[in-house]
Amino acid sequence: MAKVISEDIGAYYYHFPAVATIVTAQARGRENAMAVAWHTSISFNPPLYGISISPKRFTYQLIVDSKEFGVNFLPFEQAGLVASVGGSKGAEIDKFRQFDIARDKPVKTAVPILKAAYAAYECKLVDDKGYGDHRLLVGEIVAVHLLKEAFAPEETLDLAKVSPTLYLGSERYLTVSRETIKYLDRKVYGKH
């Protein structure tokens, strides 16, 4: 198959599967949740996490007002919830009520933490910068909520216990299979 080279960039963000998360926030008595596929770890120490969200999102205003946000990782069985909070607007409905979302109590912030999450971070906003039509919000992780049994002794996800929610794009969700895990030791592979 021949490759096409083009300056028409197109949907570059669909060229690899993303992990679909639910970002949560609250301010002035309003709480909200939205789907976020554009996110990344940034620093070990301090532990920094970045999310890229449009300033049009209701969630963005809540984060700017409270200087806090939550990042929630859901098992594949909850992919429908990702689509629900990603397909509705907090400016129009109370998503927690509408989709009957159960919460865990936060410990270092006031952000809602989702009970269904196998991992969730409470973050304090440290930076908010515009890049093109989105804002890169960087938060310091001040508390993590982990379903301990979902993790193997080496601290990676135990795929026998939990299947992460991945997003391919164009409303298509998938997960991963532990049969495809390969152990490739970088110290061995990087030898020269």
Listed in order, strand segments (DSSP E) in 28-171 are 30-36, 39-43, 48-53, 68-73, 103-104, 113-114, 119-131, 134-146, 166-169
Q: Does 165 bind ligand FMN (CB under 6 A)?
A: no
Helix (H) or strand (E) holding 22, with range, is strand 21-27
Q: Which stretch binds ligand FMN (CB under 6 A): 34-42, 69-77, 98-106, 155-163?
A: 34-42
Secondary structure (3-state) at 90: coil
Q: Which of 8, 9, 131, 119 is nearest to 73 (CA)?
A: 119
Q: Which stretch binds ligand FMN (CB under 6 A): 28-36, 41-49, 106-114, 145-153?
A: 28-36
Binding string, residues 35-74; x marks residues near ligand FMN by CB under 6 A: xxxx-------------xxx--xxx---------------
User: Which of 34, 63, 119, 141 lies at the binding interface for ligand FMN (CB under 6 A)?
Assistant: 34
CB of 11 to ligand FMN, least distance (A): 13
Q: Evaluate whether 147 touches 115 at the Cβ level (below 8 Å).
A: no
Q: Does 117 bind ligand FMN (CB under 6 A)?
A: no
Q: Evaluate whether 63 touches 54 at the Cβ level (below 8 Å).
A: no
User: Which of 74, 82, 116, 120 lies at the binding interface for ligand FMN (CB under 6 A)?
Assistant: 82
Q: Does 32 bind ligand FMN (CB under 6 A)?
A: yes
Query: Can you read off the two tokens belonging to residue 108?
Result: 């270092």
Q: Which stretch binds ligand FMN (CB under 6 A): 40-48, 86-94, 114-122, 144-152?
A: 86-94
Q: Does 86 bind ligand FMN (CB under 6 A)?
A: yes
State the number of binding residues for ligand FMN (CB under 6 A): 20
Q: Round to whole Å and give the CA distance between 136 and 16.
A: 20
Query: Can you read off the two tokens belonging to residue 189?
Result: 């592979």
Contact positions vs ligand FMN (CB under 6 A):
20, 32, 34-38, 52-54, 57-59, 82-83, 86, 88-90, 167
